[in-house]
Amino acid sequence: MPELFDDGDYYTGPPLTDALITRAEEALGVKLPASYLAALRERNGGHLRRSCLPTTFPTTWSHDHFEVHGLLGLGGEWGIDSEFGSRYMIPEWDYPDVGVVICSTPSAGHDTVMLDYSDCGPKGEPAVVYVDEDRVPRRVADDFAEFLDRLRPCDEYDEDDEDDEGEGDGEP
């Protein structure tokens, strides 16, 4: 797998430990996927080198993809288990309560990416869903490893095409 994170440390939490994982899983009430934890062992969250994911459906922001700013890790200010992490974001942004918010997006909350435990239960292997402004979770990967594999560099997308066929007005 190519290097996952860029050089910046925004969204990066403290070094990942077994104790941090245990606390996060207890706080969130789920078992986190091994592939997600493997990524966090490289760096505990941060900006991704490949941060656009192609879709078969239009999003508010583009007709064929969405972008993530960062992968959220555990602990620290940006952790999924932090004070303003997943449990806070779900009711604050009216996201569907299907699992755990794992990515920040350029829209600053209008859309997100989540681990979806709806079909597998809290101890199973969650799918990855994209949640747009309509708050409908749309499956974009069967698991987190597939999500990482599907990410592409955003420069593969023509910025002029964004919003041309999306559902909204493109205002972030």
The mean pLDDT value for 76-89 works out to 93
Give CA–CA dist 61/117, Å, rounded. Answer: 26
SS3 99: strand
The CATH code of the domain at 18-154 is 3.40.1580
User: How high is the pLDDT of residue 168?
Assistant: 42
Query: Which of 82, 146, 83 has the alpha carbon at shortest distance from 113?
Result: 146
Domain ranges of the chain: 18-154
Mean pLDDT of the chain: 90
The mean pLDDT value for 78-99 works out to 95
SS3 86: helix
Q: What's the pTM?
A: 0.89
Give CA–CA dist 149/11, Å, rounded. Answer: 21
Label residue 108 by pLDDT band (50, 70, 90).
Answer: confident
The residues with which 138 forms a beta bridge, in sequence order, are 130
The mean pLDDT value for 135-140 works out to 97
CB of 113 within 8 A of CB of 80?
no
User: How high is the pLDDT of residue 160?
Assistant: 54
User: How high is the pLDDT of residue 159?
Assistant: 63
Report which of residues 103 and 162 the model is more confident about: 103
Give CA–CA dist 101/69, Å, rounded. Answer: 13
SS3 28: helix
Chain position carrying tokens 């949640």: 131
CB of 28 within 8 A of CB of 100?
yes
The mean pLDDT value for 30-58 works out to 96
User: How high is the pLDDT of residue 61?
Assistant: 85
- Residue 98 has a CB neighbour count (10 Å cut-off) of 17
- DSSP code of residue 12: -
DSSP 123-153: TS--EEEEE-TT--EEEEESSHHHHHHH-B-
